Structure 1
């Protein structure tokens, strides 16, 4: 299976001198995509090598000196004058000092050498990369499958044009609407990890999600040096139970009998290992917009549901509104990027779920309700009065009014 948009984004960066750094959760398909990129380069008669730093022999060699990487490849200067040497390195974070490794090779061999590197745990590389690799890299973040990619992995490519038409025209019903909505229900519960999507039965999907939690999340925790693994997992489960709500380090610390600084550190690690994302409040000019606490969302509904051990069908769930809001968060992130995404909340309880600031004090606001009957426009009067340059829309799964947005069409 091919993630065509992800693969194309990497192809488009091949002619740039900067390193291509691919990050994202474990088991999301990063290695598969860069192997497909390697195959594409080979078909175009390029000089390309695929190496993994999970190989202890290679890892030991490059930890002794970065240029030992060429013990396994051609030298850049031995490549013909009109060609470049492409090195695809999987799991670059295992290097003792990945940023210095990449910096040395860039400074000495660019543009004859082009490195495409993957990394699962961004907390290894985040802070050091920003300084030592400034201007020398472009980071591509890969996330769980979007819903159209989910359809492709399910072998339902015939439904993708139907979905695109549904998004384009609110009045369009099509002949496959019921089937698409049934698959959307599955996506809301089991999420977009490729192996989970490809699993045939619900039992297999649940087992794979449990493996992600019990093996790969534990691996991230271990490699991050977390000493209280049990507390870490209790915290992530608490966050799963309050998806879309404010994160109060002090309250969480009291609940788990942990220092709030430890809670803050664990949450940072969860973000850097691509379990959760935090969004910050939108600040304008109203003095009552006092809350500084962020809201928490999960990058994948299936992982979130696994942490809660709840795989009930969407219509039977008490938390179906939270699942829909989490989906809309991820959809907005895909459409606009995380930096433009906020929420609005005042000290006296007025709130709007999502704010997308497209330009300074201009943008779109969205309130998410599972059923749009729950949406009361009068509740948002204060926001609209304070921000007349923002439009406000309601996104719902169950629609009764034509001026609201059906979630699957968003």
Structure 2
């Protein structure tokens, strides 16, 4: 660590503008992420911001720093991109360098942002030690990392050491969030059917923007029309898989099978038979994909969860689905895409989603909701408590989730 690097990552020390903020200001579509409100700024706090790459974690942090600079001593704010570090000893040197500045300038409370800490082997050792010996007792520490920070269970290594800190998960924009940045402000409704009925007059715009959302998903770069967004996401996924010490070609084969068979339920064994590996190997890879925010699944639920039944896999964003299609050279059905969007939205809203199949099928069960999704208008009779979503109302449903 030296002064040149210090000023590069913290240009506010020398009254210069941050390049990330300049890029954000030059974007056609820009917004302040809602998740910034959830970050605890009350000392002592240890915040973790976790999510896949390309969803705007770094930009969000820089926007928060920009806000803090309005009424805080610039030297009380420290940012470092940890992707150029390799181990906890290097991280310790970086932190020590700043803490000396803090002491010299008689700063009581610092706001320390350590970005992409996933790259630093055993990073938690330095942070845990400094919390235990009181180095951060008056500070706010915010750590960001890609999903593999969660793969190793490192967040769980800080019991009783979080203070007021929060865990914040950052995803691509939901459709409601997407509408908000397009100027269509819609609240999240507890009673979803009531919310859908309150959209009178907004329907044409909602349907128009849903077609756009299917194309761009919720990634800032794709929303702004950056042509290489898919390549950046693919590169990020490949890097994360390799960092997890898994095989890229097998990863492609498993995801390809899921895309091609969707929206049909699948078992680990059936996927394994398709790609030529054991169900245990498939289960291991699926868990990696879940923790990397690539996909998730719904379990079968009747009166209770039946674990041995097949799972309904779903991709977590429409643009990500199209990117995975490019990566694996595999097409998927339009009906599957609609189902994935609903499943992923309800998973975020309620935490868990399930499905049911008997004489009729319920694609998604979430909380007290039972939902069947059709790409065209439905004709089959369903029980009265099942919500049927098709092209006539699906965007309206998503708009209030």
In the superposition, the TM-score normalised over structure 2's length comes to 0.78
Sort the Cα spacing of 1:218 and 1:86 in 2 relative to 1 into closer, same or farther, 3 A: same
Query: Separation in 1 of the partners of 2:310 and 2:153?
Result: 23
Give, in angstroms, the shift of residue 68 of structure 1: 4.8
Query: Separation in 2 of the partners of 1:20 and 1:70?
Result: 20
Indicate which of 359, 373, 385 corresponds to 1:368.
373
Higher normalized contact order (CA 8 Å, seq sep 6+, divided by chain length): 2
Q: Which deviations, in whole Å up to 9, do the C-alpha atoms of 1:144-199 show, x marking residues without a partner?
A: 0122433455xx32x3359999983526432x533331221121233111100100
Sort the Cα spacing of 1:119 and 1:162 in 2 relative to 1 into closer, same or farther, 3 A: closer
Indicate which of 320, 331, 346 corresponds to 2:334.
320
Indicate which of 147, 160, 168 corresponds to 1:121.
147
Query: Separation in 2 of the partners of 1:28 and 1:197?
Result: 11
Secondary structure at the aligned position of 1:274 is classed as coil
Q: Is the 8 A contact 1:237 1:308 kept in 2?
A: yes
Sort the Cα spacing of 1:125 and 1:66 in 2 relative to 1 into closer, same or farther, 3 A: farther
- Give the equivalent residue in structure 2 for 1:235: 254
- Give the equivalent residue in structure 2 for 1:224: 244
Q: Which deviations, in whole Å up to 9, do the C-alpha atoms of 1:271-290 show, x marking residues without a partner?
A: 1221112233336359xx57
Give, in angstroms, the shift of residue 126 of structure 1: 4.3
- Give the equivalent residue in structure 1 for 2:84: 55
Q: Is the 8 A contact 2:260 2:332 kept in 1?
A: no
- Give the equivalent residue in structure 2 for 1:294: 311
Sort the Cα spacing of 1:49 and 1:318 in 2 relative to 1 into closer, same or farther, 3 A: closer
- Give the equivalent residue in structure 2 for 1:187: 213
Aligned ranges 1:1-400 → 2 under 5 Å: 1-10=30-39, 13-15=40-42, 17-46=44-73, 47-56=76-85, 59=86, 62-64=88-90, 66=92, 68-74=94-100, 80=106, 83-108=108-133, 109-122=135-148, 126-133=152-159, 136=162, 138-151=166-179, 153=181, 156-157=182-183, 159-160=184-185, 168=195, 170=197, 172-174=199-201, 177-199=203-225, 204=227, 207-213=228-234, 215-226=235-246, 228-282=247-301, 284=303, 291-309=308-326, 319-336=333-350, 338=351, 341-345=352-356, 351-357=361-367, 363-378=368-383, 391-399=385-393
Q: Is the 8 A contact 1:93 1:125 kept in 2?
A: no
Paired residues, number: 362
Q: Which deviations, in whole Å up to 9, do the C-alpha atoms of 1:47-77 show, x marking residues without a partner?
A: 1101011124xx55x4357365121344666
Q: Is the 8 A contact 1:277 1:297 kept in 2?
A: yes
Sort the Cα spacing of 1:133 and 1:74 in 2 relative to 1 into closer, same or farther, 3 A: farther
Secondary structure at the aligned position of 2:124 is classed as helix
Sort the Cα spacing of 1:349 and 1:69 in 2 relative to 1 into closer, same or farther, 3 A: farther
Q: Is the 8 A contact 1:279 1:294 kept in 2?
A: yes
- Give the equivalent residue in structure 2 for 1:360: none
Query: Separation in 2 of the partners of 1:308 and 1:230?
Result: 14
Instruction: Give unmatched runs, 5+ long, in structure 1.
Output: 311-316, 358-362, 381-390
What's the RMSD between the two structures over aligned residues?
3.4
Q: Is the 8 A contact 1:397 1:406 kept in 2?
A: no
Secondary structure at the aligned position of 1:14 is classed as coil
Sort the Cα spacing of 1:344 and 1:179 in 2 relative to 1 into closer, same or farther, 3 A: closer
